[in-house]
Structure 1
Amino acid sequence: MNPIDFKKCFLCQSEDINDLRDPSKHCGKNNEHYKPYENLAANILELKQLKQLPFSIDTDILNSNYGSLEKAVCHKKCRNMIDNQKVTRARERQKEETIHSPVKTRRMSLPAGEISIKCSTSSGDVDPENKTEEGPKCFLCDQPRGQNCRSGFYKAATLSLDTNVRRAAKTICHKALLRKITNGDLIAQNAYYHLTCLTKLYRQEEKTKRQSDNCTGKVAVLQAQGLAELIDYVESYRNTNTVLHMSELCHLYSARLVSLGIDSYVHTSRLRASILSAVPDLKEIRNNSNNQIDLAFDCDLTRALSEISSHDCNSEVFLLPQAARILRRHTLEKKNNFNGTFPAECQEESVPPILTTFMTMLLDGPSIVKNQTTEEIPSMSPAVKSLSQLIAFNSVKRRTNTPASAPRHLRDRETPLAIYIAVKVYAVTRKECLINVLHEKGLCISYKRLRTLTTDLANSVVAHFESTGVVVPLQALKKIFTTFAYDNIDHNPRSTTCRSNFHGTCISILQFPDRPNQREQEPLSHNAAMNQEVMGKSNVAPLPACYTNLPPIALSKENVDVPRLPVDTPLRPETRPLTETLKDVHEWLTHAFGLLEDGVVDPGTTKWISWAAYYANKFGPPLSPVTPSMMLPLFTETAHSPMMVFHGMNIVAAVTKHLNTGQTPVMVADQPLFTLAKKIQWKVSDTLGEDKFVVMLGALHTEKMLYEVLGDWLEASGWTSLLSVSGVASSGVADSMIKVTHITRTRYMHQVTAIALYSLLRQAHRGYLATTIEDEPLELDAWTECQRDQEPHFLYWHQTLELQLTVLQFVKSIRTASFDLYLETLEHLMPWVFALDHIHYARNLPIHLRDMCALREMHPTVHNEFVKGKFVGQKTGRAFSGLALDQVHEQLIGSLKGDGGIIGLTEDPVALERFMITGPELARIIEEFEITPGNSDRRHHEQYPKYKKTFREDVNGLISAFSDVGNPFLENSGQLISLDTSRIMPNDVVSTVKNITKVGKDKYDEFFLKRVSSSTSPWTSVFHLSRLPLFSAKTQQRKDKSHLASMKEERTQVIKMMLCGHSGRDIDEEVFAHENALSPPSLSSHGQMHKGTKSDILKCLEGDVEDSTSPMPPSPDVVILDAAFIVQSLRPGTASTFQDYTDQVFLPYVMS
């Protein structure tokens, strides 16, 4: 072996003497110059022993004496090849080759002349297709080790390698490679590869991506946008004597590229050259101490350039035509084609990137700010998207010479915004003239074009229905758990010119994917809703006859018995004691009471006081994806007819079979439709029986009924008066809480009331602890039970608090999709429903609970899905925002009536038939456009400081109102008293308060036993009302008795007058002492009239008046004037207006 020439690199011994470095310079402050050579020698010896030394070097000189290396130099790249990291990796590879371990490593290099086959976790043999006499082959080039490749030969040992290879194969469309990797991951197939082959594959992928990006020019434009914004950022530091660090500029540029959605790799030298070429007065400053490059402005050069530009006043104007030509070229090259849908990125993709870049810089200025993270960089604003689309929509190659002609737009220039504006205006107003006016202003497409689009869309939908044989939307997903909602859609126009209403039927589909990207759609893709074969027609094709024709069915008017279910499961939900059920919500009350006691509004985002914000912070955003929802074509038939309900159930069964074969159909309906559906199930049990079809009662309508139960319980108790006095609600809004005209507002009032009552309860207990003389004072729960037994007023308001909390727990079960809590809270609330005579829900809710409890045995798949939370919908990704299925359906109907538009359609049969198909599609298009993509805010709408402040103020105001009339939990009179009127309730009302839950539970148990479980009595037989007296009970006499008493009195007076007239006697003054009315308002007391003259009331004042015979009249303190007499007596004179009469006549007389 040749001796080492220490003037050259002692490792590679090449003739290249550039970049030679002395390792002793890195010995540190200890001046131990031999340490680096010692480490290098140790690494060389170990790599030699492991047979992985990359250089041919005589190691005999590297014994214990390292003096021969003290003057050695080497290349940096050569030294890196034998550093500590390379030794560690070599040591690990040697260990794995020795024991043939299947441990996952980055790459395993095989020694020269030896092939070591590592066993996989699934099989100990190499794949026969990849094994030859020469050893395993590369799965990329099908060549063994060493053939046509001098690089390393490795075995697949990481899952990331399999992922990257699959991605690259799909990107470059390598069909042969895709066939190879379809049998499983590369580790399981014992795949080997050449490093050169894998590198070539990755480079082909990158090349394909670059070619794809360059075809659109998007990446280049976005890079130019980022560079332009960076240059604007640099220009902002002109004349500030600031030194710009190149590393910081690279970081800002990279962050901006990431925010624009492209690769963040930045070539520092090229970026520096681009900045220096764009800003000629920048100079480069090299800092040799830390190898950092800085940029600074040259003051002299900057001053010279500014003087030149100030004298060249036309230079900026000359740039405008150049910019316009560039923008026009890119804009006119961009083509659009509306296919019936608005994808998430449709607005950005409808215009060239260079146009949006220009509009962003024009409107928003530079987006790069110092010390700004990637997340803080704003995305493209809606104004930029809208203005860019309008520019592209109105751009033409050559403007017509006729200025008065109407604008014409090509179809390939129609942007999503132009179509959306026309659809939105048409859906809301249905005014052709308004759309055409906007079209003339260049804001939207024309009405004629809109008519063509809607016709093509409707015909495409009908063609899809006929091709599939089932009426199912194009956007429906297959092999996904699917539910349906069935309800009426009513429209009562307020216009005086409309003479007809609309009462139709709407069926909606709600699907529950397990993951966001779980999509297996119809043969027609979601991106191709338009069918080219049926486009261009002037009329809308009719819907299939199987969808519009209703099958006959008749329901008997006789009593119906509930059939028994073949299950062993209990038909009533298992419940815990009410205190255990409400334990969770009491934690919220304790938390809120503590925050109210602090009295300081926390500006943070953790200490939430409202009910929804507290649980949203506790549970966090939902794990389930958003629930897709869509509508089927509408029906003109009313939803409450047995034939329509029967037809709707058949449609639900057919669509369920088409979308998710094997699933039991599930349909949600409100209370009247639920009753009809159950009767149909029991009549047509062979096709739609309870073992083949699931009917659910809508949870939103159930929640509304529960608030009505609370309203019946609180009516006339003084609750609404306190809401009005506290300023929480106006008097009209407070009264509407009883009848529940607004569900969200009513829910809010009960949340405020619950916290107020709990705070008053805690305050009353504190007062008891402060005044009691007992040795062992009672805790809150024990004291509460004691007070409930003694004070009916305490019992009433504590029962109110319990009822409100139970209803809130029911709502919580929907928000959190807890099926068990849903059934448990309903079971606890059933006695209140029966006791307060809500007969329709008292008849149907036991059937609903029976069906839900029987799901475990009759429909286990549906039960498992419900337990997972798929009995409620998730319209957004916000926390604590689950919605009942019928509420999702109601929102779709609201968008249909508000966005789909029914104005002026009920009187035109042709337009109404057209709307049956186009209405749901128009509502879908509007919803797709208005959805904001990429919205990462997953907070609940109550998790904002302003809402927290308002909620706290309302709670404190209601607590103050309760305290003014007296804390209800401090009442010790033993009476039940109305808060606003202080009216003492009779004993029958007190008895109701004490026994209402027992009465309701007894009625519920009897109903369930006789009519549901054993069916000894018909389900539809007469329901006997409880008629329990409450605060709102009437105490007045019946009208017929009061009328009879009035007639008797009048008859007596007439007889007296007749007798006096015949006998010639004087008529008694008592007859004329008062009017012949039952109760004169000013002279009666509880119907007893005061008989006398009106002047009798002045007798009590005679003693306070001075003697009128005195010569001098007393000086008056107050002068009372009859304004009516004055106006009648004073002439207007020259006054021509009321103001003139007041100033010239009336006021002078009064002041005189």
Structure 2
Amino acid sequence: MLDRPVQRERTYLRATKRLEQERAPEEDAHPQAFSELVTYLVETTRSGEGPAVFRLADIVHLYAQRLEQLGVDAPAVNSTRLKEKLLSEIPELEAHKKGRDVLLAFQKDVGFVLSEASDYYSEAIILGKAANILRRHMLDHKSTFDGTFHELCIEQAIPLTLLQFVAMLEHGADIKSQLRFGASKTDLAIAQLLQYNCYARYKEVAATHRHSKDRETPFPVYMGMSVYTKTRKRKLVEMLNEHGISISYDRVLEISAQLGDATVSKYVEDGVVCPPVLRKGLFTTSAMDNIDHNPTATTVTTSFHGTSVSVFQHPTKEDKGEECGQLKFGEKKVKTVPELPDSFTNVQPAFFTKKKPSPPQSGVTHPDTSLLRPQLAMEYEWLEKVTLTDGPVDVTWSAHHASQKRGKPFEVSITSLLPLLRDQAHSVATVKHVMDKIKEIVAFLNHGQVPVIAADQPIYAVAKQVQWHWPEIYGEDKFVIMFGGLHIEMAALKSIGTLLQDSGWTGALVEAGIASPGTADSFLTVSSITRTRQMHQITGCSLYKLLKAAHMDYSKETDEQPEEVPSFEAWCEHRKLQSPQFHFWYMVLSMELVILLLIRSFREANFFLYCQSLAELIPYFFANNNVNYARWLPIHYRDMVTLEQKHHQLAQEFQSGNFVVHKSSRQFSAMAIDQAGQRCHQGRRGAIGVTEDPSALRRWMIAGPEVSHLVAQYEAACGTKEGTEHTSHHEETERAQRVFFENVEKLSQAMKDMGNPFQEESRDLL
């Protein structure tokens, strides 16, 4: 028996010798490409689908292309040597010269020879050799998860031979199939799962088998963390783990705890709670929102009412920003997430000493309504298009404007979510605390910039009063508080819903078969903002179609005296004075168009249009008695139109489109800052059960954003993230256009059958 030190030395020497004997990937490319070429020649001839005669020049070109795909730079292929090698490898192959070309062809009895050759070699032996070769490469290849998914993490996590073998299995072993398909996403996923589930030793008596962390590929980590982030279902993660698709639930908790520990360590090191994904030197905006979780289970004794803070950055093509540094992902096991710094979690008490702080005096000129006419003309252009078109070609509102490509060039925004605060968002103390924290983050990332915070109406009202009460610290020259654009849109849709109450609109929707009675009523209260927005687009098109039909009938009645026929605009103004019914539905159409202008200002990142549409929308809130928005929206409008005088640099950023967030590279898809903030914390689901466990709640609050970022990193690395590869709008599909066009036709016909409201002659509002 040899001593253990001697055995270890020999083992080390054998491993070193084996590693030295392994060739570089470029050297492995030649035999692989040659074997694929031989397979292609044999299989093509056997199947009878390809040519019986091959030009040597074509074979050389095919061989060189495959070498380039395998990573060989500018391969120099000697045609004579390749021909001789093929002839020696395939005895049945013959070379014939025809002019300057060399032709390769098989003998007549090639079928018999090939079938006879298959008897000489056992397929089982060949498969066994292939398995041993692959296992050797798989076991020698080490890849450990380090807390992040960089751009090349997937390719580096698996041996090249395994990926090539999987690609051959999926697409074919011949050279043309490999050139056509290469390594697809499915190839990468299957290769990662094979590498992850490869065991050096397999114990039969063991109840469970532990996966080696040295072969922990990104895909199973992504699957486990993604399912955990979206569902927090242990059984689901364990089921995927049993099938070898995901890491175990315990490993998921371990990684999330390590991420939380590394995140808190970085916060302490930097001296500010700033997510690592953010970059220095970029324009930064933020959003503040409330998080309310009220469990309905009878066994639950607690609820959660916290505050969510999102931070966004706006890179440009020229300036991508400077990285703040990666998380230091430690190798030690961490079971729990440490506490955040007290400076972030402890909210100091605060209250107003004055009952009603008043805003500072400032003069605001009355808006010029003529500036909005060109923008309204674009909306009427869309209405005309829907009215006159014979088929559904870009008739939806979003598809029409997306096809115009009026938006400015942009880069996808960087989004992040701060750890949740356990304090309610609508208190003076919480608003002050969040303003302080955002100020620290902005100073850390982009020194000298004025912080920008977007919020809903209740938080906005408190934040503005904080500014007026403590002007030296939080004054309007120190912060810019924005009214959340999504909440303005929701309030406007609710306002027009109040206007349409008992007007017969919901009955027309039901009669047209577009919506059920319950769904139609939900449009009045905006239960779903997306569906309500689309329904008002359909309604606007239908109303305009009926309006044009009424004008056409009027024109036909006065054909005998054409000089007395007024223009369409003059006729509308005259009819508004004559018929209250006409006036009401014309006002509904006008308000719908103003709301669409507001939404378009976000989608196209048009700050001037945003200010103009706000000025046009505010009177509707007064008219419909929407007290809170009628009171606070003029304050927001004043801040926006005076931004040039107070914060010139900030106004330039807004005018360049940075008052909205681009979550994807799709056209006409930018969104308001508060909407992007809601999207951020909606992605972190699974609050059920965590509110009763302080440790689980802390993990959800601190590690949750980093786990979500980790999932997004993998999706970006493998190109599966929705919307990052496509630039066309999601409504630019044939089905979306057809359904919209059909709904417009149905609603128009239903309202016409009920009586065209624009042809009503009664003096009463029916």
TM-score, normalised to structure 2, is 0.89
Deviation of the 1:759 alpha carbon: 1.8
> Given the alignment, which residue of 364, 369, 387 partners 1:593?
387
**Which residue pairs with 1:673 in the alignment?**
459
- Give the whole-Å Cα distance in 2 for the aligned partners of 1:796 and 1:268: 83
- Answer whether contact 1:550 1:647 (CA < 8 A) is retained: yes
Q: Distance in 2 between matches of 1:455 and 1:658?
A: 26
Cα deviation for residue 574 of structure 1 reads 4.0
- Find out whether 1:305 has 2:113 as its counterpart: yes
Answer whether contact 1:508 1:631 (CA < 8 A) is retained.
Answer: yes
Q: Normalized per residue, which structure has more helix?
A: 2
Name the residue aligned to 1:771.
557
Q: Which residue of 2 aligns with 1:892?
A: 680
- SS of the counterpart of 2:657? coil
**Does the 8 Å contact 2:52/2:106 carry over to 1?**
no
The residue aligned with 2:284 is: 482
Match of 2:662 among 870, 874, 895: 874
Cα distance per residue 1:446-468 (max 9 Å; x no partner): 33333322222111111111111
CA drift of 1:731 comes to: 1.8
Closer/same/farther in 2, CA of residues 580 and 428 from structure 1, 3 Å limit: closer
Q: Which residue of 2 aligns with 1:850?
A: 638
- Counterpart amino acid of 2:692? E
- Kept in 2: contact 1:573–1:853 (CA 8 A): no
Q: Report if aligned partners of 2:308, 2:420 keep a CA contact under 8 Å in 1.
A: yes
> 1:783 corresponds to which residue?
571
Give the structure 1 partner of residue 15 of structure 2: none
Distance 1:379 1:778 in 2: 67
1:654 aligns with 2:440: yes
The alignment status of 1:697 with 2:507, answered yes or no, reads: no
Q: Give the Å deviation of 1:485.
A: 0.9
Structure 2 counterparts to residues 264-303 of structure 1, below 5 A: 267=77, 269=79, 281-288=92-99, 291-295=100-104, 297-303=105-111
1:1040-1060 residue CA offsets vs partner (Å, 9 max, x unmatched):
xxxxxxxxxxxxxxxxxxxxx
| Mapping of residues 487-498 of structure 1, within 5 Å | 487-498=289-300
Mapped contact 1:221–1:353 kept (Cα < 8 A):
no
* 2:158 match: secondary structure: coil
- 5+ residue gaps, structure 1, are 1-213, 602-606, 978-1152
- Deviation string, structure 1 residues 907-956 (Cα, Å, up to 9, x no partner): 12232233321122222222323345285321110111111111111111
2: distance between equivalents of 1:884 and 1:268? 61
- Residue 575 of structure 1 corresponds to which residue in structure 2? 369
Task: Map 1:553-952 onto structure 2 (within 5 A).
Answer: 553-556=350-353, 558-565=355-362, 570=364, 573-576=367-370, 579-595=373-389, 598=390, 600-601=391-392, 607-619=393-405, 623-772=409-558, 773-776=560-563, 777-896=565-684, 898=685, 901-931=686-716, 933=719, 936-952=725-741
1:551 and 1:336, CA in 2 relative to 1: closer, same or farther beyond 3 A? same
Give the SS at the match of 2:214: helix
Cα distance in structure 2, aligned partners of 1:260 and 1:884: 45
Count matched residues.
Answer: 736
Per the TM alignment, residue 862 of structure 1 is displaced from its structure 2 partner at its CA by: 0.7
Relative to 1, partners in 2 of residues 1:412 and 1:232: Cα closer, same or farther, differing over 3 Å? same
In the TM superposition, what is the alpha-carbon distance from 1:780 to its structure 2 partner?
2.5
**Cα separation, partners in 2 of 1:675 and 1:259, compared to 1, 3 Å:** farther
2:148 maps to which of 328, 341, 355: 341
Distance 2:679 2:191 in 1: 32
CA distance in structure 1 between the partners assigned to 2:701 and 2:371 by the alignment: 50
Q: Is 1:432–1:447's contact at 8 Å kept on the other side of the alignment?
A: yes
Residue pair 2:254, 2:335 contacting (<8 A) in 1 also: yes
Structure 1-normalised TM-score? 0.60
Are the structure 2 counterparts of residues 976 and 514 from structure 1 closer, same or farther at C-alpha, using a change threshold of 3 Å? same
Change (3 A) 1:938 1:265: farther
CA distance in 2 between counterparts of 1:661 and 1:227 reads 59
Given that residues 489 and 504 in structure 1 are in contact (C-alpha distance below 8 angstroms), is that contact kept between their aligned partners in structure 2? yes
After superposition, the C-alpha distances for 1:127-170 in whole angstroms (9 at most, x for unaligned) are xxxxxxxxxxxxxxxxxxxxxxxxxxxxxxxxxxxxxxxxxxxx
Code of the residue aligned with 1:736 in structure 2: it is S
Is the Cα–Cα contact under 8 Å of residues 571 and 854 in structure 1 kept in the other structure? no
CA–CA separation in structure 1 for the residues paired with 2:230 and 2:740: 35
Is the contact made by 1:792 and 1:976 (CA closer than 8 Å) also made in structure 2?
yes
Deviation, 1:681, is 0.8
Specify whether residues 936 and 458 from structure 1 end up closer, same or farther in structure 2 by C-alpha distance, changes over 3 A only: closer
Q: Which amino acid is 2:519 matched to? A: V
Change (3 A) 1:769 1:255: farther
1:511 and 1:629 in contact (8 A); partners too: yes
Moved more, 880-889 or 416-425: 416-425
**SS of residue in 1 equivalent to 2:284:** strand
Q: Give 1:958 shift.
A: 1.3
Q: Does the 8 A contact of 2:147 with 2:259 survive in 1?
A: yes
Partner of 2:194: 391
Q: Which residue of 2 aligns with 1:364?
A: 171
Q: State the percentage of identical aligned residues.
A: 37
1:483-562 mapped onto 2 (5 Å cutoff): 483-515=285-317, 518-522=320-324, 524-525=325-326, 529-532=327-330, 535-556=332-353, 558-562=355-359
**Corresponding position of 1:468:** 270
In the alignment, is the contact (CA less than 8 A) between 2:407 and 2:605 conserved in 1? no
1:799 aligned counterpart, secondary structure: helix
Indicate the RMSD between aligned Cα atoms, in angstroms: 2.9
SS at match of 2:323: coil
1:832-852 residue CA offsets vs partner (Å, 9 max, x unmatched): 011101111111111111111
Q: Quick one: distance in 2 between partners of 1:327 and 1:300?
A: 37
Q: Is residue 405 of structure 1 aligned with residue 192 of structure 2?
A: no
Q: 1:220 to 1:740 in 2, by over 3 A?
A: farther
Question: What code does the residue aligned with 2:344 have?
Answer: Y
Conserved 8 A contact 1:456-1:530: no
Residue of structure 2 aligned with 1:321, choices 128, 131, 150: 128
Q: Deviations over 1:973-995 (max 9, x none)?
A: 34432xxxxxxxxxxxxxxxxxx
Alignment-mate amino acid for residue 472 of structure 1: C
SS of the aligned residue for 1:943 comes to coil
Structure 1 CA distance, aligned partners of 2:407 and 2:64?
Answer: 31
After superposition, the C-alpha distances for 1:303-354 in whole angstroms (9 at most, x for unaligned) are 2322313544x52221111111221122112212222222344333321122
Name which structure has the greater RCO, CA cutoff 8 Å, separation 6+: 2
Instruction: Return the alpha-carbon distance in structure 1 between the equivalents of residues 278 and 476 of structure 2.
Output: 26
1:889 and 1:392 mapped to 2: Cα distance? Answer: 38
Q: Over alpha carbons, which structure has the higher Rg?
A: 1
Asked if 2 retains the 8 angstrom alpha-carbon contact of 1:621 and 1:939, the reply is: no
Deviation at 1:537, TM superposition (A): 4.0
Note the alpha carbon deviations across 1:470-520, whole angstroms, 9 max, x for none: 111111100110111111112223433323211111111100111277131
> 1:232 offset after TM fit, Å?
5.4
Q: 1:425 and 1:611, CA in 2 relative to 1: closer, same or farther beyond 3 A?
A: closer
